[in-house]
Amino acid sequence: MTYAQSLKPGSSLCFGRKFDLETLREYKSYGIEAVELSAGFDYYMNVLNFPKNRRELARVAEEAGTQLWSIHLPFSRNLDISHQNNELRAIALYTNRALIEAAGDIGIKVAVLHPSSEPIADEQRPERLARSREAIIMLREECDRHGLRLAVENLPRTCLCNRSGEMISLLEGTGAGVVFDTNHSLAEDSVDFLSALIDGGLEIYSLHISDYDFVDERHRLPGDGINNWPGLLAQLERAGYDGPLMYEVPRRPKEREELSYAELADNMRRLAAGKI
């Protein structure tokens, strides 16, 4: 058995597009055992009413035989923990706290957090970093209270954490870990980025697995891009990562045809077996 074959297969709900028994059973029928809740503010708070209905949603996942591993906290240009507008930032923090509390109550393990939105001008960056760090510490404390781990995501373009050095500096001493996205590194090679985070003492709490062209994020299946998958898996093994092999691939990746559950599951098996 390879190292990757020891990890539980997982997928973001961005593939299934919704949270219901039929969708979760579809994941499970193809051997995808762990899922990440991933939605925008409206779907979480108005469609699902996740804070109120969390236990019923957990019951649905249990009936389907899937593990609710992580919750991707919602984000937008306004829903941003580093926002310079105090009122908008307060709304982002309130929303994240409500979702963290609900997620912890039903046993979700990891809360995934974007450290910022974008665009961020160079002259804004120091203040945005300071505001993000302050919020990360507050939300990590909230996660501690409710039994989750806070995982901050590396991001592309002008977002915060677009370089390994900045990410290490931002997270050092906060108690937060990392969710490593394999299609966000545009300024550094993905393997080098991940290796630097590990060497910098940051823990990898979860993953967002997809492939890309090093020009922009594409969220394609592994093998449909330029990532060095043996190198990335070797770094994860070195770090002792034992969470799910969590894919973040939509049903229709950028500039590609729509995928089936069978294609998603087959790609997971080939990646884990070292055939990609």
CA distance 171 to 169: 6
Q: Return per-residue pLDDT of the chain as tens, 276 residues.
A: 999 999 999 999 999 889 999 999 999 999 999 999 999 999 999 999 999 999 999 999 999 999 999 999 999 999 999 999 999 999 999 999 999 999 999 999 999 999 999 999 999 999 999 999 999 999 999 999 999 999 999 999 999 999 999 999 999 999 999 999 999 999 999 999 999 999 999 999 999 999 999 999 999 999 999 999 999 999 999 999 999 999 999 999 999 999 999 999 999 999 999 999
Chain CA centroid to CA 138, Å: 19
What ranges make up the beta strands (E) of the chain? 9-12, 34-38, 67-72, 110-113, 149-153, 177-181, 204-208, 245-247
67-72/177-181 β-pairing: unpaired
pLDDT of residue 149: 98
Residue 115 belongs to domain spanning: 4-272
Q: Strand pairing partners for 245?
A: 9
With DSSP H G I counted as helix, E B as strand and the rest as coil, what are the percentages for the chain, rounded to 5? 45, 15, 40
273, two tokens: 């077996």
CATH of the domain at 70: 3.20.20.150
Q: How many domains does the chain have?
A: 1
9-12/34-38 β-pairing: parallel
pLDDT tens digits, one per residue of 56-83? 999 999 999 999 999 999 999 999 999 9
Residues contacting residue 239 through CB under 8 Å, at least 6 positions apart: 198, 203, 204
CA distance 48 to 61: 14
